Amino acid sequence: MNHKDALARIAQLSTAEPAAALRDGLALINADYSELLLPAARRLAEHHAASAQAHQLAGLAARAAGESAIALAAFAAAARLAPRDALIAHSHARTALEAGTPATALFAAAGALAPQDGGVILGHAAALLHEGQPDAAIARLTTVLRANPLWLDGHRSLAAILAQMGGDPLSEITAALARNPRSAELHHCAIAIALQARDLEQADAAVAAARTALGLPGWLALMAAHVASERGALAAADAHLAAAGAPVDAGNGWLHARHQIRARRPDAAAAVLEPLLGTPGDAQLWPYLSLAWRMLGDERAAWLEADPQLVGVYDLGLSPAELRTLADHLRALHFAKAAPLDQSVRGGTQTDGNLLLRIEAPIRDLKARLLAIVDRHVAQLPPPPPAGLPAHPTLPQRRSPQRIAGSWSVRLTGAGFHTDHVHPQGWFSSALYLALPETLGDGAADHAGWLSLGEARDLVPELGPFRLIEPKPGRLVLFPSTMWHGTRTFPAGERLTVAFDIARPRQDLPS
């Protein structure tokens, strides 16, 4: 479905019955046209005020467009009209959770309608966590997992909560493996969680346990290679990669390339990555291709990331008083005791959930300001490469809507920092500085606390950054999501930031 097709379908909604409109509206949402759909869906709900399906469509369109307040009101109306509809009840509860409003009672009601729905159970646990009941959230998931030890989504969610609250993220999956020692899925999950927890010793032990139970299938050989490479056992990683076989898609290609880069074989990394460009999921390949090209002195590295228009530094326009108010509001959302799994945070905490979906006034104002600056940044980008030339990952043809894919606040303390990392699930990523330690005042010499772009110090420490940006309260930095970024450490104090990813707009498909 392309833009013209989407407009034609939306024009027909005004005369459609709610059931047909819901069916067509779902097709539009799935084709990434929720912003176009939303005004028509809201008009449909006003015209069919007694139809739960009409309100449901408005809620779905609003939620997909990131309009939490509109979505919450629509799903509340739909739930009043269809109190026995389990899907509407779940959508109502989920939207309340995303909006930052009380949701535990709504999830309990949805659970009564669909007691075996894993999504409802996970949402209920998340709501308990957000409403100050982490022990209840952990108990809820633990009880279900004891009865259903092969439920992988449950293990992942429980591990994430345990990690944030300072517990052992592998405790329940270890118990599940004791009961199901030949479950390949559980072994895979255990290795992945150990890696996300940055516990390479535990990851190595999990690989060994999996090999004892399963031998060495291809997927395990690849994970064994990754763990060995991260531990610095490069020869062992080479042997495991040979056993795993050649990469067949982006999902395993980046693992091969990461090891080759660590082993200082950029030509081998490029040989893995370049044939996979243009295949599904290739966004995760570009960060490693950037490193390989830079190591090789390939001029395509400059084509990929050197254009100064790709990075923007902006002032958000908040007064000191407004910055303090926003910072105080965000500090109250930092309930975690430790850094989350699979994130770059070291020595700090990160808020849970998609921060900019919340509907409190300070957050809504912040979101509006941020999206206005994103619009400015996108408007000044260079044009896409001409037809016949390779596609650039940051310069697509279609560049709207500007939709937030994820957002969070990070509070670093002591000598906290971010490791060098990328966000290949996004299009543009960001750093907004709200509160900074006084020790950064003399950071110009050693760049304490500064944002580093282009460094991957764990993999290639000899490659320096191509840009260092000084943090200042109210400063927003935008950069391509596939670009390596991290922070330099600072001596002491609090560093409070907000970060978000802008989703890469889906490109139009032929009719």
Per-residue pLDDT of 379-421, as tens digits, reads 999 999 998 778 999 999 989 899 999 999 999 887 776 788 9
CB 194, CB 206: distance < 8 Å:
yes
User: What is d(CA 324, CA 312) in angstroms, rounded to the nearest whole number?
Assistant: 24
Distance CA 330, CA 327 (A): 5
pLDDT of residue 445: 67
Per-residue confidence (pLDDT) for residue 440, from 0 to 100: 63
The candidate with the shortest Cα–Cα distance to 261, out of 453, 480, 487, 461, is 461
Q: Which helix (H) or strand (E) holds 186?
A: helix 184-196
For the chain, give the percent of residues with pLDDT over 70.
96
Q: 110-134 burial, b if ≥16 CB within 10 A, otherwise e?
A: bbebeeebeebbbbbbbbbbbbeeb
Smallest CA-to-CA distance from 509 within 349, 398, 345 is with 398
d(CA 429, CA 23): 34
Q: What homologous superfamily is domain 308-384+393-502 in, according to CATH?
A: q2cbj1_9rhob like domain (2.60.120.620)
For residue 401, say if its preceding peptide bond is cis, omega within 30 degrees of 0.
yes
Torsion on CA atoms 255, 257, 258, 263, rounded to nearest 10: 130
What percent of the chain shows pLDDT beyond 90?
84
Tell me what the mean pLDDT of segment 122-149 comes to. Answer: 97
Terminal-to-terminal C-alpha distance of the chain: 6
Per the structure block, which two tokens stand in for 358?
């919340």
DSSP string, 129-146: HHTT-HHHHHHHHHHHHH
Cα 81 to Cα 507: distance, rounded to the nearest angstrom = 37
| Confidence (pLDDT) at 135 | 97
d(CA 234, CA 222): 13
Identify residue 147 by its one-letter amino acid code: A
The one-letter amino acid code at 226 reads H
> In the structure encoding, which two tokens stand for residue 61, read together?
């369109």
| Average pLDDT of the residues in 264-293 | 96
Percentages helix, strand, coil for the chain, rounded to the nearest 5?
55, 10, 35
DSSP structure class, residue 339? P
Measure the CA dihedral 376/468/484/401, to 10°. -10
pLDDT of 448: 82
**Are the beta carbons of 477 and 311 closer than 8 angstroms?**
yes
Contacts 24+ apart (CB under 8 A), 30-34: 31/1, 31/6, 31/506, 31/509, 32/505, 32/506, 33/1, 33/3, 33/6, 34/60, 34/61, 34/62, 34/64, 34/65
Q: Where are the domains of the chain?
A: 308-384+393-502
Classify the C-alpha dihedral 469-473-475-480 as positive or negative: positive
Query: Is the distance from CB of 169 to CB of 193 less than 8 angstroms?
Result: yes
The enclosing H or E element of 241 equals: helix 234-244
Distance CA 53, CA 88 (A): 9
DSSP 429-448: EEEEEEE--GGGGGTTTT-T
- Picking from 192, 474, 233, the residue whose alpha carbon sits closest to that of residue 342 is 192
How far is the CA of 507 from the CAs of 2, 256, 398, 511, in angstroms?
8, 29, 6, 13
Q: Are 290 and 305 in contact (CB under 8 A)?
A: yes
Whole-number pLDDT of residue 490: 80
Average pLDDT over residues 100-122: 97
Residue 252: partners with Cβ closer than 8 Å, 6 or more residues away: 222, 244
Indicate if the pLDDT at residue 87 is higher than 70: yes
For tokens 């957002």, what's the residue? 407
- Which tokens sit at 337? 């005791």
The answer to whether the CB of 34 falls within 8 A of the CB of 61 is yes
Helices 134-147, 171-179: inter-axial angle, 10-degree rounding: 10
User: Looking at the predicted structure, is the pLDDT value of residue 117 above 80?
Assistant: yes
Greatest pairwise CA separation for the chain in angstroms: 68
- Taking Cα atoms as reference points, which of 64, 74, 92, 70 lies closest to residue 18? 74
Mean of the per-residue pLDDT values of the chain: 93
User: What is residue 406's predicted lDDT score, i.e. its pLDDT?
Assistant: 95
pLDDT at residue 49 in the model = 96
Q: How far is CA 438 from the centre of its chain?
A: 31
- How much is the average pLDDT of 488-509? 86
Phi/psi at 283 (5° precision): -60, -30
Position 412 scores a pLDDT of 85
Q: Which of 72-81, 136-145, 225-234, 501-510 has the lowest mean pLDDT?
A: 501-510
d(CA 490, CA 497): 14
- What pLDDT digit, counting tens, does each position of 421-453 carry? 999 889 999 999 999 987 665 556 678 889 999
What pLDDT is recorded for position 443? 52
